[in-house]
Amino acid sequence: MLLPLGIIIVIGIATLILLIGWAKWHPFLALVCTGLCLGWLAGMPLQSIMSSIKTGIGSLLGDLSIVLVVGALLGNLIAATGAAASLTHSLTHLLGEKKLPWVLMMTGLLVGIPLFYNVGFVLLVPLAFALAKKTGMQPVFLALPMLAALSVTHGFLPPHPSPSAIAVQLGANPAEVLRYGICIAIPAILAAGPLFSSRFKNWKTNVSDSYLPHTSINYHPNSWISLCCTLLPAILLAIVNLPAEIALLISLGIAIICLWLPMPSPRESLTKIFSEAITTIAPILFIIAGAGALKQILVDTGASTVVGKMMLQWHLPPLVLAWTITAIIRICIGSATVAALTAASLLGNFLSGSHVSPALMVLSIGAGSLCCSHVNDSGFWMFKAYFNLTVKETILSWTIMETIVSVVGLLGVLCLQAIL
């Protein structure tokens, strides 16, 4: 006798949480195995299960692979040519050293648009350390606004993997997601960045000199060219309304001409720069592929329809419900990307009958995926290690910062819904 679909869904979510959170499986394997488990419990034939998994992987990656790969190439090129450092130096000169938290916040937002989160973290945190050492300001005070900006771009703004993948799953227009996301990003960054970080102005930490940036390369491209190349994907996507693939390919070509070619010889080869980018994006592509497999199983078993009916009984506004479900998965699993994609898989059928803007639903899920980063999240441990903090100190700084971004993001989505 087959189990009710509601119980099967609960078993599936519990399985995913255990495989990722407790057994420490790679998310791709955990997502695919959860899909297999759900399909088997729902009574699907093995051939149908495998067909659903292949269809789900192909449909999601087919729409996203070019965007994510080319975006990774562009982001790594901007990092390798010194464009990010050029922007930081120019903003510091313009605003002055007393405004360094604002400088780093603006740098994080600008550079975070084309750069994936981990690349942005590893690239920009050493710059914050160098400025802290030069000025005597505390590293956490300087870096939190920058990391808040990086988190916002990671959760809200295409062409980043998570919002791009959710947009595909929910049928949202990426350009619309980007325009709304920028509106939400500004108050979220201000609240979690300069306002929150002010409490750490005198919070002393000793960071390792090994994290200071290398000084062997003194070349910095023109700051205006750096700014234009950094923002070009967002301009072409949100304002010119080009398809994301075309916008990124044009941006990559222009960045090669304007940033890489003018570098003095011997310059780093494009092959090396692009190979490093592929290495960075490959794990994310696998996670998205696994999420596509799970989504298709949920659709083909009818589980997504059951989830939609269950959610209607919660009597919560759809955007709040989406944020809540994503936040719960995020707290249990740790990975923001996995939480967002899993929630999108569950919410797809529910959205079709809710009359809510798909773009706002993408942003609500993105905000929920940033909530309460703690000990099961790799970002938590990166922050702890780089800044030489205790677990308690990391919770008081990093975890609260991420949660502020998440909550303000939800409030921003609700305000946009009321206005539109």
User: Would you state the pLDDT for residue 68?
Assistant: 81
When pLDDT is cut at 50, 70 and 90, the band that residue 47 belongs to is very high
pLDDT average, residue stretch 174-194: 92
Q: Which amino acid is at 313?
A: Q
- Binned at pLDDT 50, 70 and 90, residue 215 comes out as very low
pTM score: 0.82
3-state DSSP assignment of residue 26: coil
CB 403 within 8 A of CB 188: no
Q: What is the phi/psi pair of residue 162, to 5°?
A: -65, -55
Q: Does the pLDDT at position 312 exceed 70?
A: no
In one-letter notation, the amino acid at residue 97 is E
Token representation of residue 250: 């044009």
Q: What percent of the chain has pLDDT over 90?
A: 24
| CA 38/CA 44 separation, integer angstroms | 9
Residues sharing a CB contact under 8 Å with residue 44, sequence separation 6 or more, in sequence order:
52, 297, 300, 301
Q: Are 235 and 159 in contact (CB under 8 A)?
A: no
Q: At what angle do helices 5-17 and 336-352 cross, to 10 degrees?
A: 160
Q: Which tokens hold the place of 7?
A: 């119980």
- Other CB atoms within a 10 A radius of the CB of residue 265 amount to 4
Q: What sign does the dihedral 166-170-171-177 (CA atoms) show?
A: negative
Could you tell me how many residues make up the chain?
420
Question: Strand, coil or helix: what is 103?
Answer: helix
Angle at 193 between CA 187 and CA 194, to 5 degrees: 100
Assigned token pair, 349: 């059928």
pLDDT single digits (tens) 92-127:
888 887 888 898 899 888 888 877 777 778 778 888
Locus of tokens 């195995």 = 33
Helices 270-300 and 336-352: crossing angle, nearest 10°?
40
Q: What confidence tens digit (pLDDT) does each residue in 235-291 have?
A: 888 788 788 788 889 999 999 999 998 888 777 788 888 988 888 788 888 888 888
Task: Say if residues 31 and 291 touch (Cβ distance below 8 Å).
Answer: yes
Nearest to 99 by CA among 130, 137, 150, 127: 137
Residue 329 has pLDDT above 50, yes or no: yes
Of the pLDDT bands very low, low, confident and very high (cuts 50, 70, 90), residue 216 is very low
The alpha carbon dihedral of 362, 301, 42, 24 has a sign of: negative
Q: What's the domain count of the chain? A: 1
Read off the tokens for 28: 């791709």
Confidence of residue 352 (pLDDT cuts 50, 70, 90): low
Cα separation, 182 vs 195, in Å, equals: 19
**Residue 184's pLDDT is what?**
93
CA 32/CA 292 separation, integer angstroms: 9
**Count of C-beta atoms within a 10 Å radius of residue 134:** 11
CA distance 225 to 81: 12
Residues 6+ apart with CB under 8 A from 116: 71, 72, 75, 154, 160, 161, 280, 281, 284
Whose CA is closest to 77, among 216, 226, 217, 215? 226
Cα separation, 337 vs 291, whole angstroms: 10
Give the model's confidence band at 1: pLDDT under 50 very low, under 70 low, under 90 confident, else very high.
Answer: very low
Please answer whether residues 83 and 229 qualify as being in contact, where contact means their C-beta atoms are separated by less than 8 angstroms: yes
Residue 212 CA to residue 215 CA, distance in Å, equals: 9
What range does the domain containing 167 cover?
5-419
- Measured CA distances, 244 to 147, 253, 283 (Å): 25, 14, 21
Tokens at 319, concatenated: 């955007």
Element (H, E) at 262: none
pLDDT of residue 359: 92
- Which segment of 37-46, 51-60, 347-356, 388-397 scores lowest on mean pLDDT? 347-356
